Amino acid sequence: MGVKVRERPKGSGVWWIFIDHQGKRKAKKVGKDRRLANEVAKKIEAKLVLGEFDMKGGEDSCPAFRQYAERWLRLSRDWKESTRIAYEQTLKKHVYPHFGKRKLNTIRRKDLKAFFDSLLLKGMATETMGTVRTVISGVMTHAVESELMDSNPLRDIRMKYKSKQLEVDPLTGEEAEKLLKEAKKYQGGIYHLPMLCALRTGMRIGEIQALKWGDVDFNGRFIHVKLSWRNGILSNTKNKKRRRVDMSPQLVATLKDVRVIQKRKALKQGRPVSEWVFANEEGAMLHRESFRNALNRCLESVGLRRIRVHDLRHSYATIRLLRGHNVGDVSYQLGHSSIKITYDVYGHWIPGKFKSEVDELDERQPSATYPQPAEQDSPISKSFQQLINQPIK
């Protein structure tokens, strides 16, 4: 049995009473009067001794985890719609089977620790585990703010699990050109342009799908990346930042040719010109799965290993960095939120690139020389010379 008075959050001046009795816990918010909180705590403690205090009220009124989580998901937040969907799927697949029917304030730290250990033993990826933790913590933090729980039991749990190193399997410059040459032949070359765009700009596949002709500036020779297509939803880019991506002369020329072809086909079919840059024969948006299949077929035709669609983006980055291009510009073109991300992902792809600069350390440098004042022009040197020439007495 225990009744404690605590300030939550610390330094806020708001006082709470925490009651722990017969394996059950309850919290009551008193306010900013510490003296009143101590008096109430004494009365509750006396009632506990006499068996007159009801510990069930708070627990019975607390909703189940799933009930509260579904409400939490519906709240207006600054989330991309794809993020909301990902959180909802994570809850349904991983969290609800374990905690869905449990009252929020009955979930203890040890329960959560055992849950995450079980996910680790099943081989769940570190990134996925991070998402699971984020949604559980979000629900419980909101419950604490709503005074349904006295604290978030997940807050102090440390998960020092070894993260898997990001797998990057880019094409070399020569391999990329082989792929593009083959893409021109495959199915009339309809997938050549999106592959060229990925290898010349480093844009994500969702950004390529969502690209509209109005976002292409032929005069300025850049693409204004504004949107991304993911899970059937058109939304902001990954980090919600718009950026300008430079186009190479080859990409500009190819885009102009495709624009003319699209206009002719639309006129022939009696339909409006598609707003999508990488439209199919019917003018609809590029289909991601079809693009992936085309990539695999083209790679196989030229005897190259199979890579992921995202590795085209990695190929753009590594080809530029290996050629000594400015890392800051590569980072910006990729749309990374920080140059540190670029170094973390691609730094090990440029060892030995600067050996010539290191070799300069072995070159013999001219000895440092300091100007010596002429004796006849320096009054200080004359005085010093007279001093040392005086006989010792």
**pLDDT tens, residue by residue, 230-249:** 877 888 887 778 899 999 99
Closest C-alpha to 321, from 295, 361, 352, 299: 352
pLDDT in tens, 101-127: 999 888 988 899 899 889 888 888 888
Least confident residue range of 18-32, 204-218, 329-343: 18-32
- In the predicted model, is pLDDT for residue 351 greater than 70? no
pLDDT tens sequence across 119-175 = 888 888 888 888 999 999 999 988 888 878 777 888 777 776 555 556 788 999 999
Among residues 317, 347, 318, which one has the least CA distance to residue 333?
317
- Mean pLDDT across the stretch 183-206? 94
Q: What whole-number percentage of the chain has pLDDT above 70? A: 83
Residue 340 pLDDT > 60: yes
Whether residue 32 is predicted with pLDDT greater than 70 in this model: the reply is: yes
Stretch among 56-70, 78-92, 223-237, 286-300 having the lowest mean pLDDT = 56-70
Please tell me the distance from the alpha carbon of residue 200 to that of residue 312, in angstroms, as a whole number. Answer: 9
C-alpha distances in angstroms, 368 versus 225, 364, 365, 374?
A: 53, 12, 9, 19
The answer, yes or no, to whether residue 375 has pLDDT greater than 50, is: no
Q: Which of 2-11, 58-67, 317-326, 357-366 has the lowest mean pLDDT?
A: 357-366
pLDDT for 236 equals 82
Q: How far is CA 174 from the centre of its chain?
A: 31
Give me the mean pLDDT over the 40-51 stretch: 74
Spell out a b/e string for 306-319, using b for 16 or more CB atoms within 10 Å of the CB, else e: ebebebbbbbbbbb
